[in-house]
Chains A and B, each alone.
Chain A
């Protein structure tokens, strides 16, 4: 049913539809509304789940690690500093191959203290083994959460999935969102069954000591699971389309890139703004396009290459920077495109929108304009110096 609701509430309703048995989280801006709403749904008896109050994000992540390990579908959410506090446990969740789903309400990282949006927080976990999906709008946020459990729990994957949504822009933005019917979600997402679960009648240890003879193979298995995810994520999106009649999720989404000469590659809510600019530029006769990365980890290298190989001028626009190098997505893209056949002449990297600075249509036009000039690797857009 279509509803005009805040993004955080939409997440809560999507999570409710996935029927998790345990939710644990600690409040942090701008994530708080998500778990606040879930706590309310449980308190009101509208949702059957256990909400575990904790004293920190480290504990929240540990609780859902434990509950998932006992075979109970679980959920948590966080942002920024809370995300960093979770990160030790996040690596463990992935290493134990527990198919948890969490939301990262993307926010900048201290210092200096900043509560507004960029994507530096989830970027710090890109090497953790978690699958990372980035949402453009709140409809996609809802759809990705429902797909996330199906991806995570696939026997060929068995990795946790993080749905990343831009803090405030999406979490606190209200728009019309189609919340799926419970019966359809139940059809799409069967009950969770974990084969290697913690069970007092069949005791075992998860995440036990692995000496140098075994550790490499455990990490290799995670890499293989990521490769499997590249095949399965599009299948899950196809199945979602069959049941819900909506194209959502998958690996990438190209917008007017077929004959484009200039394409911006980006993730998250900024893609919506870029689409508007692309439409304006097209109306002026310029061949512009945008490639949205939905699945950032595993990085869909081949489909990205195929989508971009005939585009002469490419820009990566991102809300994070690997300080001392360039934007993480820019680095990934360079490594994928380097030395490959095609018409690509430059892949420039732009850092934009850090700590909630507005990304205007004009700033995106500037990026398109500068693409015809020499290649840059880490240009900060809209710097206020002096």
Chain B
């Protein structure tokens, strides 16, 4: 019987960290200005990659290894404290 991997597609928790989706960004990346942030966490919650972290006001940022540059965080920020900048 041939030796092949029959468990492709079976993923353990946190294995998605292996997929560095930051390379998908094409034109723009979010810039967290950390000036008018009120710590509402909406950017963190809406991020499809779950790559935004932060706790207190003006502490939020994202991990560019995973950020795909979709811009959802910049659109949703009620204080316009995240802006999309050219790569």
Contacts and interface: CB of A to CB of B under 8 A. Distances in A.
A206 B13 contact: no
Nearest to A227: B2
Contacts of B13: 203-204
Interface in A190-215: 196, 203-211, 214-215
Contacts of B4: 217, 220-221, 224
Contacts of A215: 8
A206 B13 CA distance: 11
A218 interface: yes
Given A209-B19, A211-B19, A224 B2 contact: yes
A205 B10 contact: yes
B19 A228 contact: no
A210 B8 contact: yes
A225 interface: yes
Given A204-B11, A204-B13, A208-B10, A217 B19 contact: no
A171 to B, nearest CB: 34
Contacts of A224: 1-2, 4
Contacts of A96: 9
A156 B1 contact: yes
Contacts of A156: 1
B86 interface: no
A95 interface: yes
Contacts of A170: none
A158 interface: yes
B2 to A, nearest CB: 5
A206 B10 CA distance: 5
A206 B15 CA distance: 12
A156 B13 CA distance: 26
B6 A221 contact: yes
Contacts of A158: 6
A96 B7 CA distance: 8
Contacts of B7: 196
Interface in B1-32: 1-2, 4-13, 15-16, 19
B6 to A, nearest CB: 5
A363 B2 CA distance: 45
B82 to A, nearest CB: 27
A196 B11 CA distance: 10
16 contacts: A95-B9, A97-B6, A156-B1, A203-B13, A204-B11, A204-B12, A205-B10, A206-B10, A208-B9, A209-B19, A214-B9, A217-B5, A218-B8, A218-B9, A220-B4, A224-B2
Interface of B: 1-2, 4-13, 15-16, 19
Given A218-B8, A221-B4, A221-B6, 6 more contacts: A158-B6, A210-B8, A214-B9, A217-B4, A217-B5, A218-B5
